[in-house]
Structure 1
Amino acid sequence: MTGSTLILAHAGEGATWQALLVVLSLGLVVVAVLAVLGRVRLDQADDLVLPLAGVAIVSSLAPLASEFLSDWVGWAFPAGVVALLAILAAALTPFDLSPRSPFTYGVAAIAIIAAVALHQPITLAWHPPPDFLPIADDIEVAITAPADSGDVPAGELTVTVTITGGSVQSELLAPDQVPTDPEEAGQLAVAIDGQVLTPEFVEDCTVDAPCTEVTFPVEVEPGERVIAVEYRRGDGVPMTPLVTDRVEFTAS
């Protein structure tokens, strides 16, 4: 089974990681503009430290406004990537970011084209409008083992997940294979401490015979751990609202 996007850093409205990308990207664009205006010097590698550190510090505040900042990811991210490459080129190569440099005009043109061309694909992949997402009516997922706030031995751990109001299967379906009801024969994305896993169900769960309860082994290291699961449509598309559960436990 394949779990694509990070569970704890989900796609869609209010995604904090998207807000972080937006602020990082806009910060890089600002640095590039300041370099063109002569306010920031980019003549050698050492000149990158202060502006990039400043961008990193400012971007740490992005989650505070993630509800609206995440909406800009389709525009900001392509422009930010172009700005980063331009900044690195200006500091590490003979290319010059200045008002009269052809390099500057080329960077500006590529940034605009990239933002316009990639806005829709990025938006659909990372930040789909609610109208594009399947509706979660009465489906719920619950991690029944391990217990929340419990203690377990480190090593191989068996996780049990119960699905109420729907079912899951172990294959990533093509869009034309998805059942009419998006709450049936769906996908279960799993992560431990934010790291997405590809679990193998003990049960034989298929499209024709999906499961309402699944178990799978995972490896856990000693310490405080978090397991999170998210139900998605059979082709991996998230539901709206998100259908998730998580437990925290101690492995020793």
Structure 2
Amino acid sequence: MTREAAALLSWVESLLADPAHARHPLHEALEALYRHHLEEKARLERLITISDSYQRYAREDHLSTRQRYDKIRRRQEKLARISDGYQQLMREHNLALERDSTHDPLTGLPNRRMIGIRLEEESRRASRHGQRYTLAMVDIDHFKRINDRHGHETGDRVLVAIAHVIRQELRNYDLCARWGGEEFLLLLTNTGIEEGRAIVDRLCQRLSRFPIVVGDMTLSVTASAGLSEHRAGEDPLAETLQRADRALLQAKRSGRNRSCIAPIPG
């Protein structure tokens, strides 16, 4: 209420309270108007009170809703992070399973399964385009002596070091797999037998000169190898690989630390 309205109301109250105006013809009308004003004022105050209460409730309800929304949003964000982490873990787990199924766990080289797949692919490619490839079976000489004298843990470290040397010596498009034990199978793509023998001999020379440090020991190894060139139409595992394996046996029987080439089938 403004100051002017309060002064007017006070003046009306004083007029109604003055006995001198009790018989005035407008006294009754002024009193009725005054009471009506008071009722309307009370009604307006109740409406203001209700409005204030509603607005306070609305603010509190909005705050409560916002708090619930923020709580739900934080929970969803937490669940999303957990879900993302779980999916990433599953992806890593699947990649690890896939790698374990195609790679040797000790050396990290491809295993028999993977090089078998690559051999089939390379054979089809060679057949379509008339290309050649050479297989080389490489065996570490007298590896059993290392295990017997120094233990299998030392033998494992030697195999890891050998795998490292082989990776360095081969071309990017060649493939080396751990075939089993101390045997390694090399797939030399788009390579004839003489070029393949030069690559394998260079690798064996590097191995013989490479010092393998295991703890306080320095070991050295030599390797024997048998090579065969794939011929169109022959089975890469049942025929090409078997010829390389027989050539490897010949290299061992000839004194080891050398390579032998499988004869071309007649």
Q: Could you say whether these structures have the same fold, taking a TM-score greater than 0.5 normalized by the shorter chain as the test?
A: no
Q: Which structure's CA Rg is the greater one? A: 2
Per the shorter chain, which TM-score range?
under 0.3
Q: RCO greater where, 1 or 2, for CA within 8 Å and sep 6 or more?
A: 1
Structure with greater proportional strand content = 1
Structure with greater proportional helix content = 2
